[in-house]
Each structure stands twice: as structure tokens, then as C-alpha cells.
Amino acid sequence: MILSAGEIASIYYHDIFDYSLTPFDLIRWRAGKNVRPKDLNLEITQERGYLFVKGRKGLIFKRVVREKNFQRKKEIAQNAARLLAKLPTIKVIGLTGSLAMQNAKDSSDIDFLVITQKGTLWTTRLLSFLLLKLARIPTRRFGDKEEKDKICLNLWLDETALSWPKTQRNAYTAHEIAQIIPVADKDKVFEKFLWLNRWIEKFWPNAIKIRKAIFRSGKKLGPRFIEFIARNFQFWHMRGKITRERVSRKKALFHPQDWGEIVKTRFYT
């Protein structure tokens, strides 16, 4: 079995997340030159149509089980997304994290990316939680120990702040963006999101086809003071709870575990 450097790097990268690859997966997830493992003496094994680092045969069973989890969790996610999409200020809802890779544990929550209309992020976030609560759809909140099948609204972006900061552009964030599955998209805002983050092709050149987006200026809905009140109320509520999270007027990124730092232990990023 002869593998290219990009294919070996990809297998090693996905090993971090307990995910074995098929030869077909390697076409999409072949690593670019910017994904460079620190350990160059890697032995890759192939069995039952899966490729993995030697000694990690158990990943085959994990993948089969987690793909079954995906079907059940995806239905829950779609039901929640259909409800949230009724809010006029929501432009995009996307599945993210392990579920987007069909690699979620049975006990895992369901991570969402939400892109909102210009100037409405914090109002929309507040309304989203209220709407899900009224519909009795469980959401993951700060301090939850039981997270199974709960909706986790952990990535929020204003439609005018879609480009990822240059200081945070690496193999991990590129993969996280490339694997997003949009389940609601209004006015092709997700297409705009990908175009503004086309730097991900330097890390995963075959992962997703990015088309040039047409940019339209968004319009704010409602008086500015409503957004001001909603933002300050939530900032007050989150005081003392912020650790690795990044929150601002146009972005709210909640990451309980910093996988990017874990990737850095094995890769030059």
C-alpha cells in the first residue's frame, strides 16, 4: 500500500478524533501541504476497507456505531433547525463538530452554527433559546453534565463578520469549517461564509467546493436598543463563566474543549 504524504497526514489527523478513513474519504480529506505531522515515522494499516494508524483497529467498530448514532441525532437536529429557521433573523443553521463527521458518541450533544442577520445576533440568540424552551426541545446550558442529544448553540456569527481571524487559521479550524452541514440557508449566506473563508483550501484542498459568492448588504431588523439590551443582559448572565469562549458584538464562540491545542501537539499549524 503506497500512500502520499497528504494521505498519511490525513489519516494521522483524523486519528486524533478516533476516526478511521476509507479510500474514498481520502479523496475528500487529503491533507494539503500546510498540514504537517510532527511524527514522520507513521505506520498505516488497512483492514475491512478502512485505513488507520497501526494499533488502532478499534476505530473501525467505533465508526460503524457512530454512523448509526448520526441517523438518530440528525433527525433531532433537523426538527430543531426547522423550528429555529422560522425566526426571520436567522440566515444559516449548520451542523458542526463530531456530528457533522458522523462521528458523534451516543452521549454527545448536537452542535449548531447559527449565522444571524446584520445587527441581531444577541437578540436572535435570546429568542432562539426561548423558542426551543417553549417547544420543549432540550438545550445544553453552562454546567450541564448530561448532554446527550441536547441542542448546543455554540457558534454564533453576524452575517457581516463571517471571515475567520488570521490568527486562528489552522488545520483544525479549516477542517471544522469544511465539515459543516448546512440544514437551513437563506439568501445563500452559507455560500458567502465559505467564500470568505476559502483559505481552508490551503489545508484541505478537496474537502468542499467553494463558489464565488454574490454579496448583498444586509438590513437590520428592529430598533438598535433591543439588540443593545439583549446583548448586555446575556453578557451579564455569562459573567464569571467565560474561559476559552470568545464573545463580542458580532461573534459568540463557545468551545468547552480546545481541540485546536490538542492538534498542535501532533501537527505544525
Residues 15 and 111 in one domain: no
CATH label of the domain that carries residue 116? 3.30.460.10
Q: Note the pLDDT tens digit of each residue in 4-17.
A: 999 999 999 999 99
111 contact partners, CB below 8 Å, separation of at least 6: 95, 96, 97, 98, 99, 100, 152, 154, 155
Statement to judge: residues 86 and 177 lie in one domain = yes
Query: Domain limits at 24?
Result: 5-61
Q: Which of 61, 82, 101 is the last residue of a domain?
A: 61
Same domain, 187 and 83: yes
Domain identity same for 218 and 118: yes
In a domain, 142, yes or no: yes
Does 77 fall in a domain?
yes
Among 61, 87, 108, give the residue marking a domain's end: 61
Yes or no: say if 137 and 79 are a contact pair by the CB < 8 Å rule.
yes
Residue 242, pLDDT score: 67
Q: Identify whether residues 36 and 158 lie together within a single domain.
A: no
Task: With beta carbons less than 8 A apart as the criterion, state whether 37 and 9 touch.
Answer: yes
Q: Do both 26 and 128 map to the same domain?
A: no
**Alpha-carbon gap, residue 158 to 141, rounded angstroms:** 21
Q: What is the DSSP string of 3-14?
A: --HHHHHHHHHH
For residues 28 and 106, membership in a common domain is answered with no
42 pLDDT higher than 90: no
Kindly tell me the number of DSSP H helices and DSSP E strands found in the chain.
9, 10
C-alpha cell at 263: 492538534
Q: Cα separations (Å) of 54 from 12, 20, 48, 267?
A: 10, 11, 14, 18
Burial environment of residue 35 by CB neighbours within 10 A (0 to 12, 13 to 18, 19 or more) = buried
CA distance 215 to 192: 7
Q: Report the range of poorest mean pLDDT among 29-33, 140-144, 153-157, 159-163.
A: 140-144
pTM score over 0.75: yes
Q: What is the pLDDT of residue 204?
A: 98
Report the sign of the C-alpha dihedral through residues 59, 62, 67, 73, in that order. Answer: negative
Q: What is the mean pLDDT of residues 230-238?
A: 89
Does residue 66 sit within a domain? no
Q: Are residues 147 and 196 in the same domain?
A: yes
Counting the structural domains of the chain, the total is 2
